[in-house]
Amino acid sequence: MSVIYLDNNATTQVAPEVVEAITPYLTGEYFNPSSMYDAARGPADAVSAARRRIAKLLGNARPNEILFTSCATESNNTAVFGTVAANPDRRHVITTSVEHPAIHNVAQDLERRGFEVDFLPVDSEGRLDVTDFVHALRPDTLLVSVMLANNETGVIFPVEELARITKETDPGIVFHTDATQGVGKLPIDLRGSFQNVDLLSFSGHKLHAPKGIGALYIRRGTPCRPFMLGGHQEDGRRAGTENVAFIVGLARALELAVEHHDTDEGRIVAMRDRLQRELENRIPYLQVNGGAAPRLINTLNVACHFIEGEGILYQLSSHGICASSGSACTSGSLEPSHVLRAMKIPFTAIHGSVRFSLSRYNTEAEIDRVIEVFPEIVASLRRMSPYWDAERDAPRPEALEMLEAPDMPQDHA
Amino acid sequence: MTWNYSKKTTELFMAAVQGKPGTHLGEIEDADGFGEHGSIACGDALRFTFSVDRHPTDPKKDRITDARYLTFGCTSAIAASEALCAIIEEGDFTPIEALKISNQDLVDYLGGLPQAKIHCSVMGAEALEAAIFNWAQKRGVDLAELGIDIRREEQEEGRLVCTCFGLTEPYILRKIEELELRSIPEITNAIKAGGACMSCHHQPGGLQDLLLKVWGKQSTSLSQLPVLPMAREALAQPPQEMSPFKFAKLVEHVVDEYVRPQLAKDGGDIEIVDIKDTVVYGRFLGACSDCAGSSRTLKMMVEQALKDRVDQRIRVVQV
């Protein structure tokens, strides 16, 4: 059975052009770029060329502002712990309640170390209130870390504006953004609209490069101590032999994303919108999470009331369809997604969330297939749900009452 | 994490969602036994109903003739519900005989369940038990008279240990014993306690302490790191406006009022040696002073009393 891959916010297919670009560095050009002999010039040149291309594609940044890491998680850890280590006098950090775990758990760790951390709330559409952000800024604020786009809902945050407010308040505050879901999909101009962003993280495998390569942009002059110590690679800011092949792959993938952007964008958003519209038409008690907020064009997060997401994924998988869910049974913890909880998605729906995330490799026929099977999967699970009246094909009255209840009966926060 | 369900589990699930003949989806109207476990907020819920062939004279000899379920939950929760009904159908049980069906029977029927999904089988067993208690009530069968523990103490609402899933001390203690749970991850896998915010793992009176209470000291779990003191402080409430003088007075008051009477029962006492910020230095006196085994329990008892009544950030240091 062929796979219909709609989980591109988790990882992506490696582009054939990327495979082609990296292959020489996995075969003949294996030399260590730090070595002195002529043979090593090829890999060394490839790394610096990749650095220049990436810097240019992010809005004419300086090449030495780009640091290669192993993944976005490492970039995020470096950004936060590096900033903390370089600014011992400040003890306050601002972030949001919906960050990826690679920021969320790092911020919680800072809290355990005695830092004060504000986790800004979001509204039911997943949007930040800039007023909340302004109130949170303090004289001893050290770092602001706000993601560019949310991985679960695709909701885009006004990072440019928040960065400007931050710098106008106090240029000493470091502004970081986890742009993992945004790079390749949203325009990033580090000399223009992103000029107040000091640190920016992203990874390769969300934009059709392989897993195991990430990057951190560190604006010139931003104090940031290294997270990994060792050799002199990356100007001593990130030790460890360069992953030459994947660095080349990252640059190629970013080039492709920019090249394809204009032609792909309209096609992807049309498929996503059609999927959303058809599911909304066919499935009662379905809500689109973050639907009213500015969103990434490839992401659709729906919540099906009165059923649980793991059973949905299991049946989708039996049709060869790959998607993900924020339900407790799929999270590795026993709690549903912290993002959906922060949005106060009704507790009748939070366990029944499903995320579809598209890429340029998806086709209309694949979307047709999802539209065909998904409503039946939802109906089959509702027939077994104690909150659903199978005869009337509608929620039971007591379940509807729960839906109207203003708060969750149990606060998991 | 991809699925690693047994063949039987996936077969039962797919048969159930497709509504194949022989599956047990549904709810019996005016059921003789009605039981529920879980809630939509917790992520899984099971409604279990059965009907009986009523014995004309002795309700204890009723036979279960039909069993049905409605389940909100994951693949394994639905498969476990199906397994429960199938076991009952095959067994031709009286309700009292059916009480012997344990969660392990469901696991065995399914050909095993992943560790993290064990709670699905527990949910089945719990709903069955609730339904049988309901039957007993309807049919006027006094289960307690038959020597069956009907959890009277749990109905009196014990102290809440896991606030996320609303689980009380008596319930968790019973489950630790019944299901032979030896570590915090095992507790979480079986009954979900401690699976969300995790703050009940190592706090005084939390899951680790309950494990100690049931199994004694040997059951320490090396895989679980203790919560650092700083973390506990970070979780505590914001500082209260209280002068050091008033703070100390209040500590003394709570010690006099709540701690000393407890210690006095065993012929002991406590002396407050010093207070620095929110760290209270105490010395145990009398019978408590040379009882090495109990000093940790004592310290925690005192600490909890002070935390509850003065300030969540208080730590007691034994001098």
Residues B95 and B165 in one domain: no
The full set of domain ranges for chain A reads 16-257, 262-404
Residues B16 and B82 in one domain: yes
- Can you tell me the mean pLDDT for B45-71? 93
- Can you tell me the mean pLDDT for B91-120? 92
Contact residues for A72 (Cβ-Cβ < 8 A; gap 6+): A100, A102, A178, A180, A201, A202, A203, A206, A214
* Structural domain contains residue B36: yes
* Structural domain contains residue B305: yes
Does residue B237 carry a pLDDT above 70?
no
For the ranges A307-316, B154-163, B236-245, the lowest mean pLDDT is seen at B236-245
Q: Confirm if A202 and A55 have CB atoms less than 8 A apart.
A: no
The answer to whether the A16-257 and A262-404 domains have the same CATH topology is no
Residue with more model confidence, B257 or A271: A271
* Structural domain contains residue B206: yes
Q: Is the dihedral of CA A410, B2, B6, B8 positive or negative?
A: positive
A144-173 residue pLDDT tens = 999 999 999 999 999 999 999 998 888 899
- Structural domains of chain B, count: 3
For the ranges A278-282, A323-327, B50-54, B272-276, the lowest mean pLDDT is seen at B272-276
C-alpha angle A411-B194-A328 in degrees, rounded to nearest 5: 65
Say what the pLDDT of residue A331 is: 65
Residues B68 and B85 in one domain: yes
Q: Confirm if B74 and A311 have CB atoms less than 8 A apart.
A: yes
Residues in A closer than 8 angstroms to B197, CB to CB, are: 335, 412-413
- Can you tell me the mean pLDDT for A37-45? 94
Question: In the structure, what pLDDT confidence band is assigned to residue A257 with cuts at 50, 70 and 90?
Answer: very high
Please tell me whether the interface predicted TM-score (ipTM) of this complex is above 0.90: no
Q: Is the dihedral of CA A409, A354, A337, A358 positive or negative?
A: negative
Half-sphere exposure of A412 (CA within 13 A, CB side): 28
- Tell me the residue type at A391: E
Interchain CB contact of B41 with A (< 8 Å): yes
Q: d(Cα B60, Cα A36) in Å, to the nearest integer?
A: 89
Residue of B nearest to A402 (CA): B40
Q: Confirm if A33 and A242 have CB atoms less than 8 A apart.
A: yes
Say what the pLDDT of residue B293 is: 56
**In which element (H, E) is residue B118 found?**
helix B118-139
Half-sphere exposure of A237 (CA within 13 A, CB side): 26
C-alpha angle A60-A249-A61 in degrees, rounded to nearest 5: 10
Residues B134 and B160 in one domain: no
Say what the pLDDT of residue B202 is: 82
* Structural domain contains residue B43: yes
Say what the pLDDT of residue B243 is: 83
Residues B136 and B62 in one domain: yes
Contact assignment for A314 to B3 by CB distance below 8 Å: yes
Q: d(Cα B246, Cα B117) in Å, to the nearest integer?
A: 51
**In which element (H, E) is residue B213 found?**
helix B207-215
Say what the pLDDT of residue A66 is: 96
Token output for A184: 């390749």
B120-166 residue pLDDT tens = 999 999 999 999 999 999 999 888 888 887 776 565 578 889 888 88
Interchain CB contact of B14 with A (< 8 Å): yes
Token output for A377: 């999967």
User: How close is the nearest chain A Cα to the Cα of B34, in Å?
Assistant: 13
Contact assignment for B41 to A114 by CB distance below 8 Å: no
Is A322 considered catalytic here?
Answer: no
The helix/strand/coil state of A113 is coil
Contact assignment for B41 to A315 by CB distance below 8 Å: no
Say what the pLDDT of residue A305 is: 94
Q: d(Cα A330, Cα B240) in Å, to the nearest integer?
A: 40
Say what the pLDDT of residue B291 is: 62
Residue of B74, B85, B120, B200 marked catalytic: B120
Say what the pLDDT of residue A413 is: 35
Last residue of a domain, one of B194, B225, B256: B225
- DSSP, residue by residue, A64-112: GGEEEESSHHHHHHHHHHHHHHH-TT--EEEEETT--HHHHHHHHHHHH
Does residue A333 carry a pLDDT above 80?
no
Q: Is the dihedral of CA A14, A20, A22, A23 positive or negative?
A: positive
Mean pLDDT of the residues in chain A: 93
* Structural domain contains residue B85: yes
Residues B213 and B296 in one domain: no
Interchain CB contact of B292 with A (< 8 Å): no
Interchain CB contact of B234 with A (< 8 Å): yes
Contact assignment for A310 to B18 by CB distance below 8 Å: no
Residues B28 and B118 in one domain: yes
What pTM did the predictor assign? 0.76
- Can you tell me the mean pLDDT for A328-347? 84
The domain in which residue B157 lies consists of 152-225
Residue of A nearest to B164 (CA): A412
Say what the pLDDT of residue B239 is: 53
Does residue B103 carry a pLDDT above 50?
yes
For the ranges A3-17, A393-407, B28-42, B58-72, the lowest mean pLDDT is seen at A393-407
Residues B106 and B199 in one domain: no
- DSSP, residue by residue, B128-188: HHHHHHHHHHHHT--TGGGT----HHHHT---EEETTTTEEHHHHHHHHHHTT--SHHHHH
- Can you tell me the mean pLDDT for B256-266? 85
Mean pLDDT of the residues in chain B: 84
Token output for A253: 């993938």
Q: Report H helices in A121-227.
A: 130-136, 159-169
Q: What is the CATH number of the domain that holds B270?
A: 3.30.300.130
* Structural domain contains residue B239: no
Residues B284 and B187 in one domain: no
Q: Confirm if A66 and A54 have CB atoms less than 8 A apart.
A: yes
Interchain CB contact of B15 with A (< 8 Å): no
A168-214 residue pLDDT tens = 888 899 999 999 999 999 999 999 999 999 999 999 999 999 999 99
Does residue A371 carry a pLDDT above 90?
yes
Contact assignment for A409 to B192 by CB distance below 8 Å: no
Strands A116-120 and A141-145: unpaired
Last residue of a domain, one of B146, B169, B184: B146
Q: Confirm if B191 and B167 have CB atoms less than 8 A apart.
A: yes
State the DSSP code for B218: G
Contact assignment for B16 to A384 by CB distance below 8 Å: yes
User: How close is the nearest chain B Cα to the Cα of A376, in Å?
Assistant: 10
Last residue of a domain, one of B129, B146, B163: B146
Residues B133 and B53 in one domain: yes
Say what the pLDDT of residue A25 is: 97
Contact residues for A407 (Cβ-Cβ < 8 A; gap 6+): none
We find that the CATH architecture of domain A262-404 is Alpha-Beta Complex (3.90)
Residue with more model confidence, B189 or A47: A47
Contact assignment for A380 to B43 by CB distance below 8 Å: no
Residues in A closer than 8 angstroms to B39, CB to CB, are: 409-410
* Of B276, B284, B282, residue with least CA distance to B313: B276
Q: What is the CATH number of the domain that holds B92?
A: 3.90.1010.10
* Structural domain contains residue B304: yes
A384-408 residue pLDDT tens = 999 999 888 899 988 888 877 655 4
Say what the pLDDT of residue B314 is: 87
Residue with more model confidence, B319 or B4: B4
Question: In the structure, what pLDDT confidence band is assigned to residue B1 with cuts at 50, 70 and 90?
Answer: low
Say what the pLDDT of residue A405 is: 63
- DSSP, residue by residue, A178-203: E-TTTBTTB---TTTTTTT--EEEEE
Q: Confirm if A162 and A144 have CB atoms less than 8 A apart.
A: yes
Residues in B closer than 8 angstroms to A318, CB to CB, are: 14
Best interface-test mutation with B: which of A115, A310, A384, A407 has the largest number of B CBs within 10 A? Answer: A384
* Structural domain contains residue B232: no
- Can you tell me the mean pLDDT for A301-319? 94
- Can you tell me the mean pLDDT for A316-337? 84
Say what the pLDDT of residue A412 is: 39
Does residue B297 carry a pLDDT above 80?
no
Question: In the structure, what pLDDT confidence band is assigned to residue B218 with cuts at 50, 70 and 90?
Answer: very low
Say what the pLDDT of residue A267 is: 96
In this structure, whether the domain defined by A16-257 belongs to CATH 3.40.640.10 is answered with yes
Residues B18 and B72 in one domain: yes
Say what the pLDDT of residue B234 is: 47
Residues B138 and B66 in one domain: yes
For the ranges A221-235, A331-345, B208-222, the lowest mean pLDDT is seen at B208-222
Contact residues for B189 (Cβ-Cβ < 8 A; gap 6+): B115, B116, B117, B118, B119
How distant, in Å, are the alpha carbons of A218, B50, B124, B137, B138 from that of B134? 65, 10, 15, 5, 6
- Chain A / chain B CB contacts < 8 angstroms: 108
Contact assignment for A386 to B46 by CB distance below 8 Å: yes
For the ranges A85-89, A256-260, A289-293, B77-81, the lowest mean pLDDT is seen at A85-89
Token output for A317: 């998988």
A96-152 residue pLDDT tens = 999 999 999 999 999 999 999 999 999 999 999 988 998 898 889 999 999 999 999
- Can you tell me the mean pLDDT for B165-193? 89
